Structure 1
Amino acid sequence: MGHGGNVIQELTTDHREVEELFGRIEALPPGSKDRKNLADQATIELVRHSVAEESYLYPAVREHITGGDAMADKEIEDHAKAEQIMKDMEDLQADDARFDTLMTQLMSEIRSHIRDEEQNLFPKLETACPADALMHLGDQVRRAKKMAPTRPHPSAPDTPPANKLLAPAAGLVDRMRDALSGRGKES
Structure 2
Amino acid sequence: MPGPPPPAPRRAGGLVGFNAASRAEAVALLLSCCHSLRWAERVAAHRPYPTVDALLAAADEAGYDLSRADLDGALAAESSLPPHPGAPPAARTALRAAHAAYESSFGHAFVISLDGVRPGERLDQVLAGIRSRLGNEPEEERVIAAEELRRLARARLALRLAEGLTTRHPEA
Give the structure-1-normalised TM-score. 0.30
Q: Say which structure, 1 or 2, has more relative contact order (CA 8 Å, 6+ apart).
A: 1
Give the structure-2-normalised TM-score. 0.32
Greater share of residues in helix: 1
